[in-house]
C-alpha cells in the first residue's frame, strides 16, 4: 500500500473525491465516491483532468534510477505507439502485418544471440521477461519430464538450480509450476553463479540451471561459459545432462553490442533458451519481452498452441491470450532505427555514464563499489564503514526529497546484513544529468556527515522490492 494511500485513508474524507468546480462541467457532480463506480457520466475533459492530476504525484520517471524499464522514446516511436495502441497481439489473422513483424523480431534476436540455424529455431514475444522466463523454465521442465518418462523414471521431484540473487520471477516460477528451487548462496567471494559447489546442487531431478545476465542487485553477469564447463564435468562424472536458461532480462540487449566476444549465448552449447525484456535495454516502453530457443527440439511441441493465421496455422507460445501489439511494432522500429551500431552507441553511452558515476561515488570516500556499471550500466555500492549518524537508507531519502529515486536495499539471502544502494543508467540519463546527480549525492553526504545526532527514525525500514 502506498504511503499516500495509507496516510490519507485514515480520514473519512478519503471515501470521496472532491472536484474543483472550475474543472467540473455544468451538471456534473463535484463529489465522487473513491471506491465505487460513479453513478453518472462525466465529460472526457473532467475525467482526464482528474486522472492526470492524480498521476502527477508519481515520481518523475526520468529521475527514477531504480527501474530498468525504458522511460524515454523519441517522437516517431510515440506516434507509432498511439497509432497501434488498439492492436491485440493475439489477433494474428486480423493483424497479419503485426504478426509478421513479431516473427521477424524474434528471428533478429535469434541471429543476434548466435543460434546455430535461424530457420530451425522458435521464439516469441511476451509481456516481459517474467513471462519469457516462465516459458523458458517450462520448456526445461517438459524436456526433463520427457527424458525421465522415456526412461521409466519418476517425474515427481523436479528442481531448478539458481543463484539466491535471482529476480523474484524465478521464485514465482518454482512456486507456480511445482519445482523445488535450489538457491546457491551469494557471498562476498561468489557474488555471481560461477559454478562453485554446483555439483552439490545438481542431481538427476535437476531440470536446468538459470544463469543471469545482469543481476538485478548488482548488474554483474553470471559467467555462462564457466557454468557450462562445470556442467560438462558433472555430466562426465554423473551422467546428468543439465541445460541452461539465460535470463538476459537486461544483459541480452547489452552484451551483443558492448561485449561481443563474451560467450554467454547460443555459442555455449548448453544454452537451451534465452529471454530478455524488450522494455529494458531493448529500449521500448513497457511491456514487451522475448524468448528464443536454441532449436525446435529445445522447445517441446506440447507447449505450442495453434491459432488460425491467414487461413493457415500459426504456432503460438504464450501464457497470456490478449496482449498489446504496439510494443512489438515499437521493438521493430528500434531495430530499424538504431541497427547494431545505434544499439552499441546507446548502450556504450549508458555504460560510460554509469562508470563515470560509479568512479565519482567511489572517490567520495564513504563508499565502496560492489560493481562498476561496466557489464550492464547498473552498479551498486555499500558504506565502506558504518557511519555514526546515517546509513544508505537516509541517503536514499535525502535524494528522494530532491526528486532522484536511488533505492537502498539488503542483499539477497545469506548476505542480508549487507545494505547496498544501486543506480540503473538508461537512455535518457545524460552525462549532464549524471553530473547534477553526483553533485546532489555529494551535498547530501556532506549534510548527513554534519549531523550532530542520528537521523530520527519513525518506524522500521521497509525495503525496496526487486
Ligand atoms: C534478471 C531479471 N529477470 C527477470 C526480470 C523480470 O522482468 P520483467 O519486469 O520484464 O517481467 C527482471 C526485472 O528486473 C530482471 O532483472
Cβ–Cβ under 8 Å, residues 163 and 197:
no
Q: Reduced to 3 DSSP states, what percent helix, strand and coil does the chain have, rounded to the nearest 5?
A: 40, 15, 45
Q: How far does residue 363's CA lie from ligand 1's centre (Å)?
A: 31
Q: How far does residue 437's CA lie from ligand 1's centre (Å)?
A: 25
The tens place of each residue's pLDDT in the chain, 466 residues long, gives 344 444 545 455 678 888 888 878 888 888 888 899 999 999 999 999 999 999 998 878 888 999 999 999 999 999 999 999 999 998 888 899 999 999 999 999 999 999 999 999 999 999 999 999 999 999 999 999 999 999 999 999 999 999 998 999 999 999 999 999 999 998 888 889 998 999 999 999 999 999 999 999 899 999 999 999 999 999 999 999 999 999 999 999 999 999 999 999 999 999 999 999 999 999 999 999 999 999 999 999 999 988 776 677 777 889 988 999 999 999 999 999 999 999 999 999 999 999 999 999 999 999 999 999 999 999 999 999 999 999 999 999 999 999 999 999 988 777 888 899 999 999 999 999 999 999 999 999 999 999 999 988 776 665 555 5
Residue nearest to atom 7 of ligand 1 (CA): 129
Tell me the three cell numbers of residue 126: 511476451
Cβ–Cβ under 8 Å, residues 70 and 427:
yes
- pTM comes to 0.93
Q: Residue 449, Cβ neighbours under 10 Å: how many?
A: 13
Q: How far does residue 215's CA lie from ligand 1's centre (Å)?
A: 9
- Residues near ligand 1 with C-beta < 6 Å? 68, 128-130, 133, 167, 169, 212, 216, 247, 249-250, 277, 289
For the chain, domain boundaries:
3-45, 78-334
Question: Where does 78-334 sit in CATH, by number?
Answer: 3.40.640.10
The pick from 222, 255, 277 for probing ligand 1's pocket by mutation, whose C-beta has the most ligand atoms within 8 angstroms, reads 277
Q: Is 214 left (phi over 0), alpha (psi -120 to 50) or beta?
A: left
Q: Report the distance separating Cα 325 and Cα 267, nearest Å.
A: 31
The pick from 69, 70, 128 for probing ligand 1's pocket by mutation, whose C-beta has the most ligand atoms within 8 angstroms, reads 128
Amino acid at each position: 500500500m502506498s504511503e499516500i494511500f495509507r496516510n490519507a485513508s485514515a480520514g473519512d474524507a478519503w471515501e470521496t473525491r472532491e472536484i474543483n468546480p472550475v474543472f467540473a462541467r455544468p451538471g456534473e457532480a463535484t463529489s465522487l465516491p473513491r471506491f465505487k463506480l460513479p453513478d453518472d457520466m462525466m465529460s472526457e475533459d473532467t475525467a482526464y483532468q482528474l486522472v492526470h492530476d492524480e498521476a502527477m504525484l508519481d515520481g518523475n520517471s526520468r529521475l527514477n534510477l531504480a527501474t530498468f524499464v525504458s522511460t524515454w522514446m523519441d517522437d516517431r516511436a510515440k506516434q507509432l505507439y498511439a497509432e497501434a495502441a488498439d492492436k491485440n497481439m493475439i489477433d494474428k489473422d486480423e493483424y497479419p502485418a503485426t504478426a509478421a513483424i513479431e516473427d521477424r523480431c524474434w528471428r533478429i534476436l535469434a541471429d543476434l544471440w548466435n543460434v546455430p540455424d535461424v530457420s530451425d529455431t522458435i521464439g516469441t514475444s511476451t509481456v516481459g521477461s517474467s513471462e519469457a522466463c516462465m516459458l523458458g523454465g517450462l520448456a526445461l521442465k517438459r524436456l526433463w519430464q520427457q527424458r525421465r518418462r522415456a526412461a521409466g523414471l519418476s517425474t515427481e521431484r523436479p528442481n531448478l538450480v539458481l543463484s539466491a540473487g535471482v529476480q523474484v520471477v524465478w521464485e514465482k516460477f518454482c512456486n507456480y509450476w511445482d519445482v523445488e528451487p535450489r538457491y546457491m548462496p551469494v557471498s562476498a567471494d561468489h557474488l555471481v553463479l560461477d559454478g562453485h559447489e554446483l555439483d552439490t546442487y545438481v542431481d538427476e531431478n535437476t531440470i536446468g540451471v538459470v544463469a543471469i545476465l545482469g543481476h538485478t542487485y548488482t548488474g554483474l553477469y553470471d559467467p555462462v561459459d564457466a557454468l557450462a564447463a562445470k556442467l560438462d564435468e558433472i555430466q562426465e562424472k554423473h551422467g546428468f545432462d543439465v541445460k541452461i536458461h539465460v535470463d538476459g532480462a537486461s544483459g541480452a540487449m547489452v552484451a551483443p553490442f558492448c561485449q561481443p566476444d563474451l560467450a554467454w549465448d547460443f555459442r555455449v552449447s548448453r544454452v537451451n533458451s534465452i529471454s530478455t525484456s524488450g522494455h529494458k535495454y531493448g529500449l521500448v516502453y513497457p511491456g514487451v519481452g522475448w524468448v528464443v530457443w536454441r532449436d525446435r527440439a529445445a522447445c517441446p511441441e506440447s507447449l505450442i498452441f495453434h491459432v488460425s493465421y491467414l487461413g493457415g496455422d500459426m504456432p503460438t507460445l504464450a501464457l497470456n491470450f490478449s496482449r498489446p501489439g504496439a510494443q512489438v511494432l515499437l521493438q521493430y522500429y528500434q531495430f530499424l532505427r538504431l541497427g547494431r551500431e545505434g544499439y552499441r552507441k546507446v548502450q556504450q553511452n549508458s555504460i560510460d555514464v554509469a562508470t563515470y558515476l560509479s568512479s565519482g561515488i567511489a572517490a567520495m570516500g564513504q563508499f565502496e563499489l560492489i560493481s562498476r556499471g561496466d557489464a550492464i550500466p547498473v552498479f551498486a555500492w555499500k558504506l565502506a564503514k558504518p557511519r555514526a549518524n546515517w546509513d544508505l537508507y537516509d541517503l536514499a531519502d535525502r535524494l528522494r526529497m530532491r526528486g532522484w529515486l536511488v533505492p537502498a536495499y539488503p542483499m539477497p539471502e545469506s548476505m542480508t546484513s549487507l545494505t547496498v544502494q544501486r543506480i540503473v543508467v538508461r537512455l535518457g540519463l545524460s552525462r549532464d544529468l549524471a553530473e547534477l546527480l553526483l553533485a546532489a549525492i555529494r551535498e547530501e553526504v556532506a549534510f548527513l556527515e554534519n549531523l550532530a545526532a542520528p537521523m530520527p527514525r519513525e518506524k522500521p525500514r521497509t525495503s525496496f522490492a526487486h
